[in-house]
Chains A and B, each alone.
Chain A
Amino acid sequence: MTGRAAKTIRVETLARVEGEGSLYIKLVGERVADVKLKIYEPPRFFEAFLRGRHFSEAPDITARICGICPIAYQMSAVHAIERAFGVQISPAIRLLRRLFYCGEWIESHTLHIYMLHAPDFLGYADVIAMAKDHRALVEKALRLKKIGNRIMQLLGGREIHPISAAVGGFYKVPTKQQLRDLREDLEWALAASLETVHWTAGLEFPKFEQDYEFVALRHPNEYPLNEGRLVSNRGLDIDTAEYEDHFVELQVKHSNALHSVVRGRGSYLVGPLARFNLNFDKLPAIAREAASDARMRPPITNIFQSIVVRAVELVFACDEALRLIREYEPPAAPRADVHNRIGVGQAITEAPRGILYHRYALDENGMILTAKIVPPTSQNQKRIEDDLREYAGQLVAWPIEEATWKCEQAIRSYDPCISCATHFLKLVVDRNEI
């Protein structure tokens, strides 16, 4: 008996995240002795599955990795392959891809804000319990999500696992009228998004400011979705093709997922907070004003406030979709000519949860030799552990149920898509006295 208490926080099943995993935290006295985010299931199934496939299959195969962000996977795939082949896409295709991505952001951010994360802040076990008392919020969420799905369905051919995106463009593009038909819904969605910023800003946030390295795309003229250089608040400013020179994935004994770190520095944060802090000046005026009214000015360094930033990005996505619809002129051809050649192509796009890296090596027949995919959640995973190591220290004196709840809330702030990172994760919290 040392006289110091050892406590273990263990959560067997982490709910309201996409996938399965577990978390183990050991506290000894006031000190956090161990934090392990455990991941099950082989994470690299899809990379192996892509080898030997024709490049044209990559958008469809990778779209199936995640039910929440299929567009992100398609977009990183087509951009990477286009880079390998030297394909130039037309401005209209570029516009449609951006609109496609807005649909996914609307769908995914709404799901996370209202259905997965709001119950944490309002004190409910899940959205079903929350719906009994907050029916209007859930109805609003369903309508917002449906509008995101409509965009995805129109451009993708179907809403989950869309099939229309192709290397060079789309198999089929919409008419001007088809896009105009979305306008009324999107105007409602924009108003609902502004309400969402106001509502989330009124929630209570634990005090938890951290010194993050934020990593996001940055484009000279716009809030990032499909393109840009990769930048950070610690001086990183690289072409996306240089990603693997600056970031490395480490094997971790307790997890099937790889932990991604910045070479020579360590963990980093991707996602809404990183995008917002590094690209605030590129948000449209309506989103900047909504953020300012909510007293959200960069740098935001409290991960719990991600829910507000997600709402600001919801405003951006709706406003941007409306702008793109106004400017759309159908392209002469739905997709550019694609001539395959031996090569390697890399791309990064901004999935709702953060940057998604793809690299493909292709042979002379357009067959995939190797594929590498680094999803946003595996990039945030080490940062989640670092945050929990810090945060759990604040929870030493708390009853086990509340400490567990708080740890889960912290993890959900990252909107972890554990299916993408590892294809399964569980969270466990235990506490014992010795």
Chain B
Amino acid sequence: MLIIGCGNQQRSDDAVGILVTEKLRKLGIRADICNGGSAELIEAWTGAKDVIVVDAVVTGAPVGTVQAWNIRETPISVAAPPSTHGLGVAEAIELARILDRLPVRLRIYGIEGRRFAAGGEISPELDFAIDEVVRKIIEDLRGNNECSSPPALLGCGPGTRD
């Protein structure tokens, strides 16, 4: 299983994907970081069959809410208002689907973020969310987790690119 944490550590809550990766590594679990755009993410999962991506999202849920989606099954909307930063995770998924470059199994853990300003602190609510996602990924590695289809609107944090 390939685990990829997306985001940008200079952009407040957008750091969560990377912080999850760092925590997993401390536990001896291999995880990659992608702080590039769509093309880099597609490259990162090329050749992998079973992939987990962790990123900050904006869906309107309370800050720190963790949501899990099995992206392979249902198209997601990429009309997310905050995505003005070129091309991000949501775009990568839909572009890869068109180009037949989606992994056989792709699960997204989205952590609801609130602020994405340069140089800002991470919202305190996200500390619990990071631990929750780490626990869920460990369960995934054991083969225990179910997750839902994605919502109509999935907005990835604006700092996927800086």
Contacts and interface: CB of A to CB of B under 8 A. Distances in A.
Asked if A and B bind, the verdict is yes
Nearest to B120: A45
Contact of A138 (B78, B84, B99): B99
Given A17-B86, A159-B36, A67 B99 contact: no
Contact of B162 (A64, A131, A149, A426): A64
Interface stretch (A139-147, A261-269, A314-322, A343-351): A139-147
Interface in B78-116: 78, 81, 83-87, 91, 94-95, 98-99
Contact of B86 (A116, A135, A423): A116
Contact of B98 (A20, A45, A128, A149): A128
B84 A17 contact: yes
Nearest to A68: B161
A131 B95 contact: yes
A18 interface: yes
A135 B98 contact: yes
A145 B39 contact: yes
Nearest to B101: A142
A183 B158 CA distance: 36
A304 to B, nearest CB: 20
Residue of A14, A67, A132 contacting most chain B CB atoms (<10 Å): A67
A115 B87 contact: yes
Interface string A54-78: 0000000000111110000000000
A19 interface: yes
A49 interface: yes
Interface residues of B, number: 29
A215 interface: no
B118 A146 contact: no
A45 B91 contact: no
B162 A45 contact: no
A41 B86 contact: no
Given A49-B119, A126-B91, A138-B95, A146 B39 contact: yes
Contacts of B81: 13
A171 to B, nearest CB: 19
B99 A18 contact: no
Contacts of A138: 95, 98-99
Q: Chain B interface mostly helix, strand, loop or mixed?
A: loop
Interface in B1-54: 8-10, 35-40, 42-43
A34 B65 CA distance: 43
Contact of A18 (B39, B86, B91, B95): B86
Contacts of A128: 78, 91, 94-95, 98
A409 interface: no
Given A111-B37, A128-B94, A138-B99, A67 B8 contact: yes
Residue of B39, B95, B98 contacting most chain A CB atoms (<10 Å): B39
Contacts of A149: 36, 40, 43
19 contacts: A13-B84, A14-B84, A15-B83, A20-B84, A64-B162, A67-B8, A67-B37, A67-B161, A115-B38, A115-B86, A126-B91, A127-B87, A131-B98, A139-B99, A159-B36, A160-B35, A160-B40, A423-B117, A426-B84
A219 B47 CA distance: 44
